[in-house]
Amino acid sequence: MTTPAAGRRVWLITGATSGFGRSLTEEVLRQGDIVVAAARGIGRLDDLKSTYAGRLFPVTLDVTDTARDGAVVRETVERHGRLDVLVNNAGRTQVGALEETTDAEMRSLFELHYFGPAALTRAALPYMRRQGSGWIIQLSSVGGQVTAPGFGAYCATKFALEGLTQTLSQEVPGVHFLIVEPGAFRTGLFGKDAAYFSAPMPEYAETVGATRTYVETGGGSQAGDPAKAARAILTVMSSAKPPLRLVLGGDAIDSIRQRLAGLQDELSEWEDLGRATSLDE
């Protein structure tokens, strides 16, 4: 077992080879911490090995292998003596109306976006509770609050992860939880072969068709900078009063604000009817 230098945190980051995971890995290493960088193919981290020898520890992990998830957490603690930050980042884009999406496609996405992060979080919590400190960072999406045609399965997984994490923030004292909700950032999620498309049905061309086109052609046009997102996450972690949710990107902020206003209007409009359902005294 190696003991981290004083003040040096130990991070476990999934999906560390690209997108937010890669940007966060680089920023954390620049700031002097230790990163256990997990991904299915770790060869894309070779360029960082010499620069950060002794602080970068690539590990092969498919987060849908929940037995392996627990082993990676345990091995991290055994090697470094602690785990300070878990970042559940691994994910992908999926497009398809519900009728277009098969059970296998739906279950596969939930394994990646919900059950994998849940297993890693469950494995990390005992160590963090014993330490009396730690961070669980969930890379969600604006799709964890705002929906769009064709993103039903994707949004469902993010809604589920956010519900779990909000509950954890109420039941696990001493551990910080952060839900990150980015809008459109220039990651590889829309890149060739990165997004998954269910087989299209002509009946959904008018509703889901625009989303398909956006994902197929939108790669490289997003306004968000993943490096700035990584720095924003680290800024929040140094705050005396960190939020539960961090919304990144003006597009995401505007969309969520519009959704909240709509919910408020709807709640007010139907409040009297809702309250009138109590038992008569």
- Consecutive sets of 10 residues in the chain, 281 residues long: mean pLDDT of each? 76 94 96 96 91 95 95 97 97 96 98 98 97 97 97 98 98 97 78 80 96 81 85 96 97 97 98 96 82
Q: Report how far residue 200's alpha carbon sits from residue 163's, in angstroms, rounded to the nearest whole number.
A: 30
Q: Report how far residue 170's alpha carbon sits from residue 161's, in angstroms, rounded to the nearest whole number.
A: 15
The single residue of 52, 114, 154, 204 carrying the catalytic annotation is: 154
140 catalytic residue (yes or no): yes
Q: What is the 3-state secondary structure (H, E, C) of 209-256?
A: HHHHHHHHHCCCCCCECHHHHHHHHHHHHCCCCCCCEEEECHHHHHHH
If we measure between CA atoms, which residue out of 56, 65, 50 comes closest to residue 13?
56
The single residue of 18, 23, 140, 141 carrying the catalytic annotation is: 140
154 catalytic residue (yes or no): yes
Q: What is the pLDDT of residue 216?
A: 85
Q: What is the pLDDT of residue 34?
A: 97
The single residue of 158, 198, 204, 255 carrying the catalytic annotation is: 158
If we measure between CA atoms, which residue out of 135, 70, 137, 143 comes closest to residue 109?
143
Strands (E), the chain: 10-14, 34-39, 56-60, 85-88, 94-95, 135-139, 176-182, 196-197, 245-248
Q: What is the pLDDT of residue 189?
A: 63
Q: What is the pLDDT of residue 104?
A: 98
Among 3.40.50.720, 3.40.50.1010, 3.40.710.10, 2.40.50.100, what is the CATH number of 10-270? Answer: 3.40.50.720
pTM value? 0.94
